[in-house]
Structure 1
Amino acid sequence: MPTTSTTQTLIHLRAVDDVAIAGTDLSAGTDVAVAGTSVVLRDDVPRGHKVAVHPIAAGAEVRRYGQVIGFGGRDIAPGEHVHLHNLEYREFERRYEFSVDAAPQQLVPEAQRRTFEGYVRSDGKVGTRNYLGVLTSVNCSATAAKLIAQQMRFSGVLDDFPNVDGVVALTHGTGCGMAPDGEGIDTLRRVMRGYLTHPNFAGFLVLGLGCEDNQIVKLTEDVALREGLPITTATIQELGGTTKTVREGVGRLTELLPEVDAVRRTTVPASELILGTNCGGSDSYSGITANPALGAAVDLLAAQGGTGIVGETPEIYGTEHMLVRRAATREVGEKLLAKIDWWRDYTAKNGGSMDNNPSPGNKAGGLTTILEKSLGAVAKGGTTTLTDVVDYGAPVTTPGFVFMDTPGYDPVSVTGIVAGGANVVCFTTGRGSAFGCSPVPSLKLATNTPLYQHMSEDMDINCGGVIDGEISVEALGEQIFDHVLRVASGEHTQSEDLGYGEEEFVPWHIGTVM
């Protein structure tokens, strides 16, 4: 738990930290108590921003969370605002100590195992929702797919099938104008197969144009789909145009409704949960409230035999040395470092650096460097052993804490995590991201109380109570875990009720647009 000054709201996380965090907007000249001493603010300091607690020399390491977040760009005096104008990003040497903090997962006794109500599919996977999907092979069939889903929703045909959660149109901007083989199209097909086998779907129409690089027949080559899963395929060129395609698509999906509606929820163990995590619109409080509380929930799920996924490789950069300490084996740790090396090379080839992240919103919220942002983001993974590192969109089959290689961009990241099998997602935000990820329910966790109150119709959980002194990180983690179980059993999230989720299906496009 952070310690808070008795005179002003300054949050000093570790005794070795060179900075403390403002809990409210503070004015220059304010006398604040922090780290056992009194400091007079030399500048106005916005809420969530950093204050130097003692002199920092130019070029010296600057620590927060007990870890390096940057280097003094010049001499910094006590009480000075520490941000973009005087804190610099630099590369620094990390010590990689493989698996020194790894330990076998201790599962809770059988009698204490939690459960939820889910849909058990023929392959043993468990869904938290029961959807029909329209999956496009190429951007050219996107409009027709959306029209099919809209007609299904608004025609009233779903009213007689209350156990069907709806029809989701999964459209994207690629599928052609790309190499017919190689990393780019392989990644797209891996994501599409992940959705085709996702337990939150009970049936599919896969729709193409007909002449695209990403031919529908290639999706199922050498890949076993779920036994008994009704999948129908078609192309616009084959069916004779858009109008005929929409009519045919609606007809085929309507025929599937009785079969899909017949499925019922049953009681299953919490070990069947695969919880995807993501942070977007992060602020300085993300690493103090929502992210560590979500990490505590991941720890609880892992103790039940379940799985928690963390992605966003560019947003754990600078913390990889901490993660390899928790790697179950050296091989797992080496896989993570290989992903970091790929991203270094990838950003350099495109004329950037890993510090191109944080975003303008992150910086306005008090985050200065990628090192600082990463230390908050990695907290979503809790404290348990890192059991595996997987490629983007690859099936997650190892329980416990798993890392998936994804970009930091929220829709692309979560699309990969859902393709990997996540059946619930928790999304933390400090600035106020608008997000959902159909067919998977997504809980929104606000890092601070003002945001929760300001965007109450978008947020599911207020994590600001940690800063307000109302709840501990551990207790909040238990509340998040309980809420996840309720949502997995059918309770709706705010983003579901608002209709978010379809536009956020964004497979990672790798490679040249031809």
Structure 2
Amino acid sequence: MSDTLRTTTSLPLAEATILLRPDDDVAIATRDLLAGTVLEREGAEPLVVAATVPRAHKLAVRVVAAGGQVRKYGQSIGRATREILPGEHVHGHNLAMDDGEHDYEFGTARVTVPPTMRGRTFRGYRRADGRVGTRNFIGVITSVNCSASTAKMIADQFRGIGVLDEFEHVDGVMAITHGSGCGLVPDSNGGQTLLRTLRGYAHHPNFGGLLVLGLGCEMIPVQSLTAGLDLPEGLHVETMTIQDSGGVRATVREAVAKIRAMLPEVDQARREDVDISELVLGLNCGGSDGYSGITANPALGHASDLLVGAGGTSVLAETPEVYGAEHLLTRRAVSEEVGRKLLDRIAWWKDYAAAGGGTLDNNPSPGNKAGGLTTILEKSLGAVAKGGTAELSAVYEYAEPIERGVGFAFMDTPGYDPVSVTGLVAGGATVVCFTTGRGSVLGSKPAPTIKLATNTEMYERMHEDMDLNCGRIVDGTATLTEVGEEIFEKIIAVASGETSVSEELDLGQEEFVPWQLGAVT
């Protein structure tokens, strides 16, 4: 919309924007505001929009001096690069990173989450070791990229309409392939991260059967993916290498026969009523916009609190996207040790980014900026809302096993969505909630993904890819609490077998992307 277009429209400020805190310097536009629009304020001079402010972008509500902090959510989201006047659009042309240091506190903002959902159940698959799955897949897990194409050929034999009709309690056969497994030192950080990720999937309660496939000469052999894992009794596991089996065609034939023999036994699993304290919820976002931090993210945070209050587990991730808001999480830490562990990961990421010639404030992405986000501080302050208000009980390394019943926790992952969600699922997440403002199409087999739209416009445009519209919070047709409770109920329904949109589209096999670290030789 051109800035040369002007209007004499007059509106109450509260009808056209959202002011999150009384002392914030900016409000968020809930519609496109043309230059010249007059925004009436009770007890104050009206604002005149200086230049067009797109929907979900920021509008200055008071003067900010050059170099001064600009506040949103009651926190600094950056510093003004020049004087900003009331009515101006606040974005990259006048707002930059605030590199000021935070004063960290530990355990000073503990909040008791509501226990109102205790006793609720879902329909899950209880495995012999006591863990509970939300799906019942057979996985073809590869130890090395050299076996990836063969694994997909095997899984493809079980795709298509009617192929598994006689096995109604098997959700499918999926290939778990990746781009590594050789050319790296197995004992290195990168090698151990990959191995931990693969072992996490092998041990995931959403698998009722496994076929572990390698080439035969790789640095990470097939046996290492399951050795010492204490796999539950009743989990059907086969291992193969292409070289020992006589090549690709022979391997596909043999593997298909092994899986066909496995299917009747895997199909014996049945859902049963299980307490929701057995759920492990992964929290992630992608393609965020200016509404993410005021609709879908805090609504998901409310659902997370309800689950934690019922004894369940909820895990936030994406370390580069809590940078600048980590001080809010340390205040909720159950101990200084837990809070310090989060700060150690932030420090590691600063060094990691610097070694690659970048900084953590290179984020947000172009799509985030088009959606109204300007700095990583602003993005992070909205992103941490997915974690609700519960105490931070633990901080995990990437793909590290998540303790059931730990409450609210954090996992160190990159911000890149497929890599982040892969780490959460490897850690044991059995359901993933994913918020998006621009429109992500991610899936996360074997754990179902629930996609939450932050705004109604995108939801209506991409409704076939979204599970729930959280934009109704801004539209005024639902409250944050109501939408949070809807998300919570959707989590229970999907965990009990309701198909999410991502599953309808058969997404998630290609989105298995382990974090690749270190040198490849």
Bin of the TM-score, shorter chain as denominator length: over 0.9
Q: Partner letter of residue 379 of structure 2?
A: K
TM-score of the superposed pair, with normalisation by structure 1:
0.97
Paired residues for 1:258-269 under 5 Å: 258-269=264-275
Return the offset for 1:215. 1.1
Return the offset for 1:187. 0.5
SS at 2:87 equivalent: coil
Tell me which residue corresponds to 1:291. 297
Q: Partner letter of residue 68 of structure 2?
A: A
Query: CA 1:16/1:152 → structure 2, altered by over 3 Å: closer, same or farther?
Result: same
Return the offset for 1:507. 0.4
Residues 461-491 of structure 1: CA deviation (Å, up to 9, x unaligned) = 0001110111111111111101110111100
Return the offset for 1:24. 1.0
Partner of residue 100 from structure 2, selected from 74, 92, 103: 92
Tell me which residue corresponds to 2:332. 326
Tell me which residue corresponds to 2:6. none
Residues 226-270 of structure 1: CA deviation (Å, up to 9, x unaligned) = 233111011111111111111111111110000011110000001
Partner of residue 61 from structure 2, selected from 53, 56, 63: 53
Q: Partner letter of residue 323 of structure 1?
A: L
Q: Distance in 2 between matches of 1:104 and 1:282?
A: 28
Tell me which residue corresponds to 1:102. 110
Q: Partner letter of residue 232 of structure 2?
A: R
Return the offset for 1:107. 3.7
Return the offset for 1:76. 1.1
Q: Distance in 1 between matches of 2:161 and 2:453?
A: 36
Q: Distance in 1 between matches of 2:110 and 2:510?
A: 39
Tell me which residue corresponds to 2:310. 304
Tell me which residue corresponds to 1:508. 515
Q: Partner letter of residue 47 of structure 2?
A: V
Tell me which residue corresponds to 1:76. 84
Asked if 1:229 corresponds to 2:227, the answer is: no
Tell me which residue corresponds to 1:149. 155
Asked if 1:67 corresponds to 2:75, the answer is: yes
Return the offset for 1:33. 3.2
Q: Partner letter of residue 97 of structure 1?
A: E
Paired residues for 1:378-417 under 5 Å: 378-397=384-403, 398-417=405-424
Contact 1:103-1:328 at 8 Å conserved across structures? no
Asked if 1:418 corresponds to 2:418, the answer is: no
Q: Which moved more, 1:100-109 or 1:341-350?
A: 100-109
Query: CA 1:349/1:35 → structure 2, altered by over 3 Å: closer, same or farther?
Result: farther
Query: CA 1:10/1:33 → structure 2, altered by over 3 Å: closer, same or farther?
Result: farther
Asked if 1:25 corresponds to 2:23, the answer is: no
Q: Which moved more, 1:151-160 or 1:475-484?
A: 151-160
Q: Distance in 1 between matches of 2:155 and 2:376?
A: 40
Q: Distance in 2 between matches of 1:50 and 1:18?
A: 9
SS at 1:457 equivalent: helix
Residues 201-236 of structure 1: CA deviation (Å, up to 9, x unaligned) = 000001111111111122234432223311101111
Query: CA 1:403/1:245 → structure 2, altered by over 3 Å: closer, same or farther?
Result: same
Contact 2:143-2:181 at 8 Å conserved across structures? yes
Find runs of 4+ consecutive structure 1 residues off by over 6 angstroms: none
SS at 2:187 equivalent: coil
Asked if 1:115 corresponds to 2:121, the answer is: yes
Q: Partner letter of residue 166 of structure 1?
A: G
Return the offset for 1:5. 4.2
Tell me which residue corresponds to 1:242. 248
Asked if 1:11 corresponds to 2:18, the answer is: yes
Partner of residue 487 from structure 2, selected from 480, 496, 510: 480
SS at 1:39 equivalent: strand
Seq. identity, %: 59
Specify every segment of 5 or more residues in structure 2 that has no aligned partner in the other structure, as ranges: 1-10
Contact 2:146-2:214 at 8 Å conserved across structures? yes
Task: Tell me the C-alpha RMSD between the 2 structures.
Answer: 1.5
Residues 9-41 of structure 1: CA deviation (Å, up to 9, x unaligned) = 111110110011111111111111358531001
Query: CA 1:353/1:6 → structure 2, altered by over 3 Å: closer, same or farther?
Result: closer
SS at 1:153 equivalent: coil
Query: CA 1:337/1:34 → structure 2, altered by over 3 Å: closer, same or farther?
Result: farther
SS at 1:152 equivalent: coil
Contact 1:5-1:11 at 8 Å conserved across structures? no
Asked if 1:364 corresponds to 2:331, the answer is: no
Return the offset for 1:92. 0.9
Partner of residue 441 from structure 2, selected from 434, 439, 442: 434
Partner of residue 137 from structure 1, selected from 143, 147, 150: 143
Residues 246-303 of structure 1: CA deviation (Å, up to 9, x unaligned) = 1111111110000011110000001011111100000000000000000000000011
Contact 1:14-1:64 at 8 Å conserved across structures? yes
Asked if 1:211 corresponds to 2:217, the answer is: yes
SS at 1:135 equivalent: strand
Return the offset for 1:8. 4.3
Residues 334-382 of structure 1: CA deviation (Å, up to 9, x unaligned) = 1111111100111011110011111000000000000000000000000
Return the offset for 1:108. 4.3
Return the offset for 1:138. 0.8
Q: Which moved more, 1:218-227 or 1:72-81?
A: 218-227
Contact 2:114-2:305 at 8 Å conserved across structures? no
Q: Partner letter of residue 126 of structure 2?
A: V
Query: CA 1:345/1:266 → structure 2, altered by over 3 Å: closer, same or farther?
Result: same
Query: CA 1:339/1:35 → structure 2, altered by over 3 Å: closer, same or farther?
Result: farther
Q: Which moved more, 1:233-242 or 1:31-40?
A: 31-40
Count of residues in Structure 1 that have an aligned counterpart in Structure 2: 509
Return the offset for 1:58. 0.8
Return the offset for 1:157. 4.1
Q: Distance in 2 between matches of 1:106 and 1:85?
A: 43
SS at 1:347 equivalent: helix
Q: Partner letter of residue 390 of structure 1?
A: Y
Query: CA 1:36/1:148 → structure 2, altered by over 3 Å: closer, same or farther?
Result: farther
Q: Distance in 1 between matches of 2:451 and 2:433?
A: 6
SS at 2:451 equivalent: strand
Residues 297-346 of structure 1: CA deviation (Å, up to 9, x unaligned) = 00000111001110000000011111111001111101111111100111
Contact 1:10-1:34 at 8 Å conserved across structures? no
SS at 1:227 equivalent: coil
